[in-house]
Amino acid sequence: MNAPGHGIHPPRILDASPSLTVPRLVVIAGAGEGCSVIGATRAGVRVCAAGGAASSISCWAEDIFEDGVAAQPCYRRVIDSALARYHFCSLPPPPPRLANYKRTEEERTIRESDTMPPTEYFLRLQRGIAGGFAPPTPSAVYTLTQSSAQPNTIAVTLAKREDGTPELSSALPKSLPAASSEALVEELHAILKTLPLEEPRGSEDIYGLDTSIAWGSEDLEWCNGGPEGCSGGKSMKQASAEEKEKFKRAVEIVQELADRAEKEG
């Protein structure tokens, strides 16, 4: 995860709202306007984009920071410096957590080297991401979601656009057994953690497949894009030949999962 303040957008402090329940990002110690950034915790409150806008949460809870110092109950706020780059992904809010939820010591530990796939995640693949004056016309959109509410099942939706038609068909709800899909999901998660994103966001399709993958989980927010409208240009970051092959493999994995769901679900 990028450190606070890193990215193409200047950081903004967002007022936290007790009515919103979105898990993780930056914990700020203190209360009221005297807050200051202490550090990020993987077990903390997560922020993801919903409909193009940042969501946030506030609650009173004991936390533990990167330096290992336990904080007193504090008022949380969220900074979206690392989040800003993911706004356009339109990831749905994750499941709510209780404000008085007490985390275990294992959950409090920040494990940067953890490579295990998350047990909760959202995945979206879109074929057709490049647009001009008109928005892109996707030929397919797949979503896969696994949550703690249904740990043994991956919820899948499949929407395709038939040749000669202007719009995607209605998304068909499907499902997959989580156990038989675990190896592919683990491989996909590991691949995405190693791949770069274009800078600025939406400047160029650096993988050249006219395809976007959006992934949201506790330990990883990743979403590549392409030029749309007047936002196109040259990305300051480019994918190597090896990274393009990895991304191609990532697309193949999602397609395989979607095909399985269409046949089995």
Q: Is 0.75 surpassed by the pTM of this model?
A: no
Q: What pLDDT score does 116 carry?
A: 65
For residue 127, give the amino acid letter.
R
Task: Per residue of the chain (265 residues), give pLDDT as tens.
Answer: 433 333 333 333 333 333 333 333 333 333 233 323 333 333 333 333 222 223 332 322 333 333 333 333 332 333 333 333 333 333 344 444 444 444 455 444 434 334 566 889 999 999 999 876 777 889 999 999 999 999 999 999 999 998 888 889 888 899 999 999 999 999 999 999 999 999 998 899 999 999 999 999 999 999 999 887 665 678 999 999 999 999 999 999 999 999 999 998 6
What is the 8-class DSSP label of residue 112? T
Q: Are strands 78-79 and 13-14 parallel, antiparallel or unpaired?
A: antiparallel
Domains of the chain: 13-108 (no CATH), 121-264 (3.30.1560)
Q: What pLDDT score does 182 carry?
A: 95
Q: What pLDDT score does 55 carry?
A: 30
Q: What pLDDT score does 134 carry?
A: 74
Contact between 229 and 133 (Cβ < 8 Å): yes
Residue whose tokens read 């999602």: 254
The C-alpha atoms of residue 9 and residue 141 are separated, in whole angstroms, by: 28
Q: What pLDDT score does 229 carry?
A: 62
Sorted by sequence, the CB contacts under 8 Å of residue 62 that are 6+ apart come out as 70, 71, 72, 73, 102
Q: What pLDDT score does 232 carry?
A: 63
